[in-house]
């Protein structure tokens, strides 16, 4: 075995140094992964800040002691901060003067403070600024309440100023509060910067404040910093920086008085970045990626203008400018600060020579998500975090819809169903999931609300009502809602009122008798989960249908008395009208109902046209058979979004034991004739589920026959190793999907063509076209020489584009060569100048990419960890949680006795290096994998694949 570390000095294993624990990224093909089956390390959501797993079922009273008393409220802040981040000095100091009003008679003023050192405080006369007294103060560490006690009683209606001097420490690359980041210039010199991210409860870690969303105020900000640096904030600078009288090396940048805003939306940064400007928008980024700021600046202008027209409320009526800033080593999150939107570099910067169509899509939709927040969250903020879906749900809808408005040829809206609705279904089918309206008290509880419910479920429900009301009425309702609550907080009822008023103004006959918009929407926003609509046709002379509803759960069926107001529409094989319209919707507002139709008994029927409704649909056996027959003969007779719906619903209904699994698998076999991306994407989770179950077992070959059968026609129609200018984004998505699966099941032509494409690129020393690079690099590297492997590693080492570096990490992890994999793991632990440019997230991404790419990667990781000298270094550099996660993922990918023997041996070697709970959980996971083969689901699936392998036309 050739050791790459003997071939190239850059891959030498060096001694590890202490490194903070970080979260891993996803493998190159993990967009195919069924998260219910594979254990993955949590990661940052591309649309916003770090997204949490779904909150547990916390049905207990909220501890209101974390809330501020209602005795005083802010009017205006004057905040002055001083930082020496240019020297990598993490200390900062500040003075804040808060103009406040007294709402109830009190002798105390309570703010919020997290780990700030309060040095002095003075209560001042609001009109004259004269000192009244120097109050005593104390911070409650649990509630973070900073309470100032006065010797006098403050009367309701009075106004004061509270002056506070304080100090703090920049947090370290954790995307919270006032935090430090860094980057390397082209000469390898490290530069430091400081920026803010305050949502949801982190403003209090930068300055004492009323850190609750409803307690809005105006802000005047000044930042003192190195004269070699610049400062940026929500508002434009108020003139040129002013020399600091105490130190000639510093200047103070003062900013114009802000609009009324919540503390979590205040934002600023101090850096040596360069700026690109067009009109009233600009982009800040480090100078060595300046060329990568042109695309986001152009797209930002397009999106902001398009959303202004759509909402009929111009952004510039409230804010004078818009700045986007790319923060290095911030991950893939973004934050919608009013007038200063902050992004991790991979989701803002775009270089067309190395970044793919997927990067372009991510940059576009994330800009649209954050810009949608300028209305939904910034202009109107949630009264309390209970209603965070009023921010994130709307932003999720308009990240796709707004991108489509700004760039219609991009086809972004086509991805909403498979990326949002179907993703929401997956997470929302648990018995313990929370509803959209869900209160929280402590900061930890508040942070847990930023979950899939807040984003994808809420976006799905809101879009359902947009479709049902019709976009025109919807927009009128949003205009009423935002006009009524602008520069203030809102609760769910405010939205309902705006929509109801718009509906009444049009005299549209939309509402069921005696039902309000509030009644309709509350049945979705205040109830956990979502329903399955059961459709049972009677096949008699009146062509009647019995409809019923119940809550859909992925693993059980339980009685539930809740009734969703379900808007339903349908079409059939004779009419084939798949266009949703307000006039076509009806309501199921009871547990069951019988309706009459004119649909012939020999024609299929489909409910939920284009899957605009947030519910699954199950049919009687005969209707499923009619649908399967049509899909197999001419799938174009059914709209492609409904084809995606049928695939996704059938698979998940089968997993929930509501439909025979053989029916779902027979339906999926129609994909042999499928040419659209959405149905293939919907099939991805099912295919991955069975791949993970069957790989390494005797039944795997039967599964390969099935997958090869459904892929054959689509694969033959694609040119997997070239890209033409005429290919659309969806065609590129489809090409990557088909290529990934063809190579994954070891299709000889796929492997040969990707390996040849990589060899040709190497011979010409020309990078592979970015739009096919993921498939070509990963599959081409399966069996590759050390020279080509090193060539790609050198591209990674020299790249300054974080998104590009992630693609190359995932590619390198695809090799099946044990020596190359060992060397790559050594890179993850490397120290010294060779590895100075590596981000902590990149180191952990290497590990997760290796175990995620192939069983060869799993075995290489086992071999690496089985060497006792490697384990302390692994934990020291990557953290205990990375080791624990690696063990869990090795177990998830253990499918046969030989693999179990390898895992058992590793657990014995590791001994006390991992918690006993991790070891026992790993063994339980393997046992569950083995038990699946004797489960009802497993036996049905195995029988189907075995029969299909011998007689596919008979199934």
Task: Find, among 234, 236, 239, the residue nearest to 216 by Cα.
Answer: 234
**Distance, CA of 118 to CA of 94 (rounded, Å):** 10
CA 198 to chain centre: 18
DSSP 699: T
C-alpha–C-alpha distance, residues 679 and 414, integer Å = 11
Instruction: Specify the pairing of strand 91-102 against strand 159-169.
Output: antiparallel
Helix axis angle, 897-910 relative to 855-865, nearest 10°?
A: 30
| Whole-angstrom distance, CA of residue 731 vs CA of residue 735 | 6
Query: Considering Cα of 769, then 772, then 774, then 775, what sign does the dihedral take?
Result: negative
Longest Cα–Cα distance in the chain: 92
Sequence-separated (6 or more) residues with CB below 8 Å from residue 634: none
Nearest Cα residue to 365 out of 323, 412, 295, 408: 412
d(CA 825, CA 863) in angstroms, rounded, equals 11
> What are the beta bridge partners of residue 425?
none
The number of beta carbons lying within 10 Å of the beta carbon of residue 555 is 11
Q: Which of 199, 292, 336, 370 is catalytic?
A: 370
Query: Strand (E) positions, 461-583?
Result: 488-490, 531-537, 545-551, 566-568, 570-572
In angstroms, the CA 431 to CA 554 distance is 9
Residue 271 β-bridge partners = 230
Which DSSP string corresponds to 645-695? HHHHHHHHHHHTTSS-HHHHHHHHGGGGG---HHHHHHHHHHHHHHHHHHT
Question: CA 423, CA 717: separation in Å to the nearest integer?
Answer: 29
Residue 453 three-state SS:
helix
Helices (H), 829-879: 840-853, 855-865, 870-878
- Is the previous residue joined to 200 through a cis bond, with omega within 30 degrees of 0? yes
Q: CA torsion sign, 832 to 836 to 839 to 843?
A: negative
Q: Using CA atoms, how far apart are residues 774 and 251, in angstroms rounded to an integer?
A: 46
Pairing status of strand 488-490 against strand 340-344: unpaired
Please name the helix (run of DSSP H) or strand (run of DSSP E) that holds residue 605, with its range, or none: strand 605-607
Pairing of β 218-226 and β 72-83: parallel
Q: In this structure, are residues 381 and 266 in contact, taking their beta carbons and an 8 Å threshold?
A: no
CB of 292 closer than 8 Å to CB of 349: yes
* φ, ψ (nearest 5 deg) of residue 722: -140, 165
Q: 862 near 870, Cβ under 8 Å?
A: no
Distance of CA 537 to the CA centre of its chain: 39
Other beta carbons within 10 angstroms of residue 793's beta carbon come to 22
Residues 6+ apart with CB under 8 A from 793: 8, 10, 11, 808, 812, 824, 827
- CA-CA distance, 184 to 37, in Å (whole number)? 39
Residue 467 annotated to the active site: no
Q: Among 452, 771, 815, which residue's Cα sits nearest to residue 614?
A: 452
Is residue 177 left, alpha or beta, with left meaning phi > 0 and alpha meaning psi from -120 to 50? left
Q: Among all residues, which ones are annotated catalytic?
A: 370
């Amino acid at each position: 075995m050739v050791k790459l570390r003997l071939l190239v000095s850059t891959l030498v294993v060096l001694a590890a140094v202490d490194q903070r624990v970080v979260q891993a990224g996803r493998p190159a093909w993990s967009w195919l992964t069924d998260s219910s089956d594979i254990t993955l390390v949590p990661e940052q959501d591309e649309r916003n800040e770090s997204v949490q797993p779904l909150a547990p079922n916390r049905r207990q009273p909220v501890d209101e002691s974390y809330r501020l008393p209602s005795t005083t409220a802010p009017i205006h802040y004057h905040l002055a901060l001083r930082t020496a981040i240019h020297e990598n000095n993490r200390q900062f100091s500040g003075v804040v003067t808060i103009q406040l009003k007294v709402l109830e008679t009190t002798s105390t003023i309570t703010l919020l403070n997290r780990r700030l050192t309060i040095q002095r405080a003075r209560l001042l006369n609001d009109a004259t600024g004269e000192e009244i007294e120097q109050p005593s103060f104390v911070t409650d560490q649990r509630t973070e309440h900073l309470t100032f006690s006065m010797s006098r009683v403050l009367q309701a209606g009075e106004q004061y100023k509270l002056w506070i001097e304080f100090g703090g420490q920049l947090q370290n690359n954790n995307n919270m509060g006032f935090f430090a980041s860094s980057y390397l210039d082209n000469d390898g010199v490290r530069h430091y910067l400081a920026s803010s991210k305050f949502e949801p409860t982190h403003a209090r870690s930068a300055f004492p404040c009323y850190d609750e969303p409803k307690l809005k105020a105006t802000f005047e900000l000044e930042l003192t910093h190195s004269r070699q640096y610049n400062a940026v904030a929500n508002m434009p600078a108020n003139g040129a920086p002013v020399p600091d009288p105490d130190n000639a090396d510093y200047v103070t940048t003062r900013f114009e008085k802000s609009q009324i805003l919540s503390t979590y939306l205040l934002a600023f940064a101090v850096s040596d970045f360069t700026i690109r400007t067009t009109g009233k928008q600009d982009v800040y980024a480090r100078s060595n990626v300046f060329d990568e700021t042109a695309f986001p600046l152009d797209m930002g202008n397009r999106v902001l203008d398009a959303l202004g027209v759509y909402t009929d409320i111009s952004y510039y009526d409230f804010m004078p400018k818009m700045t986007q800033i790319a923060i290095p080593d911030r991950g893939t999150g973004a934050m919608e600060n009013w007038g200063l939107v902050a992004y991790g570099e991979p989701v803002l910067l775009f270089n067309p020579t190395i970044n793919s169509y997927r990067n372009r899509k991510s940059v576009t939709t994330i800009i649209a998500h954050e810009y949608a927040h300028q209305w939904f969250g910034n202009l109107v903020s949630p009264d309390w975090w209970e209603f965070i879906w009023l921010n994130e749900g709307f932003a999720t809808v308009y990240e796709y819809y707004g991108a489509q408005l700004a760039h219609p040829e991009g086809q972004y809206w086509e991805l909403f169903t498979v990326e949002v609705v179907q993703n929401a279904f997956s997470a929302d089918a648990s018995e313990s999931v929370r509803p959209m309206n869900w209160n929280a008290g402590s900061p930890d509880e508040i942070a847990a609300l930023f979950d899939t419910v807040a984003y994808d479920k809420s976006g799905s429900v809101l879009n359902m009502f947009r479709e049902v009301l019709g976009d025109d009425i919807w927009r009128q309702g949003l205009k009423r809602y935002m006009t009524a609550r602008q520069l203030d907080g809102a609760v769910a009822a405010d939205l309902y009122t705006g929509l109801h008023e718009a509906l009444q103004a049009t005299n549209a006959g939309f509402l069921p008798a005696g039902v309000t918009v509030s009644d309709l929407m509350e049945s979705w926003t205040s109830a956990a989960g979502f329903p399955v609509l059961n459709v049972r046709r009677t096949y008699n002379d009146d062509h009647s249908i019995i409809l019923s509803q119940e809550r859909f759960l992925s693993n059980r069926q339980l009685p539930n008395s809740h009734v969703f107001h379900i808007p339903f529409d349908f079409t059939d094989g004779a009419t084939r009208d798949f266009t949703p319209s307000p006039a076509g919707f009806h309501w199921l507002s009871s547990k069951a109902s019988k309706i009459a139709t004119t649909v012939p008994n020999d024609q299929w029927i489909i409910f939920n046209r284009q899957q605009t409704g947030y519910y699954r649909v199950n049919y009687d056996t005969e209707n499923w058979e009619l649908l399967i027959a049509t899909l197999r003969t001419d799938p174009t007779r059914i709209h492609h979004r409904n084809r995606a719906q049928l695939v996704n619903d059938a698979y998940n209904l089968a997993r929930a034991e509501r439909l025979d699994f053989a029916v779902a698998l027979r339906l999926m076999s129609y994909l042999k004739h499928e040419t659209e991306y959405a149905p293939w994407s919907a099939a991805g989770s099912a295919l991955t589920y069975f791949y993970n179950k069957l790989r390494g077992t005797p039944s795997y070959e039967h599964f390969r026959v099935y997958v090869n059968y459904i892929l054959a026609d689509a694969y033959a129609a694609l040119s997997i190793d070239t890209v033409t200018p005429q290919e659309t984004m969806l065609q590129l998505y489809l090409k990557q999907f088909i290529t990934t699966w063809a190579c994954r099941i070891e299709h000889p032509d796929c492997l040969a063509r990707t390996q040849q494409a990589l060899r040709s690129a190497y011979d010409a020393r020309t990078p592979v076209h970015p739009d096919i690079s993921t498939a070509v690099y990963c599959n081409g590297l399966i069996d590759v020489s050390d020279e080509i492997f090193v060539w790609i590693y050198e591209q990674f080492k020299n790249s300054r584009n974080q998104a590009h570096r992630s693609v190359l990490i995932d590619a390198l992890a695809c090799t099946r060569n044990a020596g190359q994999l060992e060397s790559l793991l050594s890179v993850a632990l490397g120290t010294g100048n060779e590895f100075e440019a590596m981000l902590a997230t990149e180191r952990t991404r290497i590990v997760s990419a290796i175990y995620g790419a192939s069983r060869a990667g799993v075995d290489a990781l086992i071999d690496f960890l089985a060497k006792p000298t490697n384990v302390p270094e692994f934990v020291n550099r990557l953290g205990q949680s990375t080791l624990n996660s690696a063990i869990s993922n090795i177990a998830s990918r253990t499918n046969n006795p030989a693999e179990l023997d390898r895992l058992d041996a590793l657990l014995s070697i590791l001994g006390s290096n991992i918690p006993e709970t991790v070891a026992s959980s790993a063994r339980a996971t393997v046992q569950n994998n083995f038990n699946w083969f004797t489960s009802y689901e497993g036996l049905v699936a195995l029988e189907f694949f075995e029969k299909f392998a011998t007689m596919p036309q008979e199934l």
